Amino acid sequence: MGLMSNLIGAIDRFTEATGRFISWLTLLMVALVMVVVVMRYYLELGSIALQESVTYIHAMVFMLGLAFTLKRGGHVRVDIFYRQFSPRRQALVNLLGGVLFLMPVCVLIFVSSWDYVLSSWAFSETSAESDGLPFVYLLKTLMLIMPVTLLLQGLAEILKSALIINGGHYNSAAETKELTL
């Protein structure tokens, strides 16, 4: 049990730290959108690279924020029955959902994206626009990072559910409290 709790804690701390960092990117994204609007409509200037950077940041927030959202229980859930279940039954639903759906989907996304991302890296893919960002291959790499981070947090959630089903308990609030700024 100690090893399992340590593993859960390590994954949760990693997800919490990366999630908090990534959440700050939303503020940067808003600021960049404001700059793009001011430049375009008031200064009559345009920047493809600046516009693409907003797209890159948007992709980072959503793709790298998935694990953080899972950890915080923020994903959409149709809980007509779930909310009335006991904690052990909820843990069973979470465990089965993680093992039967989340983990296979993460593996599928990773495997199906592998060649696509590698080919982008092979020729250092850049923007189709002449003034665009030369980092499309980095953007596409998110397609590999996202399922890995989601798979890790999914493993932590499955282990938490297993602890609850076996009559144990995992105090995630104590782990999160350590990272509170």
DSSP labels, 111-146: HHHHHHHHHHHHTT---SSTTS-S-HHHHHHHHHHH
Average pLDDT, the chain: 89
Q: Which of 59, 5, 3, 73 is nearest to 29 (CA)?
A: 59
Q: What is the pTM of this model?
A: 0.84
Q: Tell me the pLDDT tens digit for each residue of 3-51.
A: 888 899 999 999 999 999 999 999 999 999 999 999 999 998 888 989 9
One pLDDT digit (tens) per residue for the chain, 181 residues: 678 888 999 999 999 999 999 999 999 999 999 999 999 999 988 889 899 999 999 999 999 999 999 999 888 777 788 888 888 998 999 999 999 999 999 999 999 999 999 999 999 888 888 888 889 999 999 999 999 999 999 999 999 999 999 887 666 554 444 433 3
Structure tokens that stand for 102 in this block: 């989340």
Helix count (H) and strand count (E) of the chain?
Answer: 7, 0
CB-based contacts of 138, cutoff 8 Å, min separation 6 = none
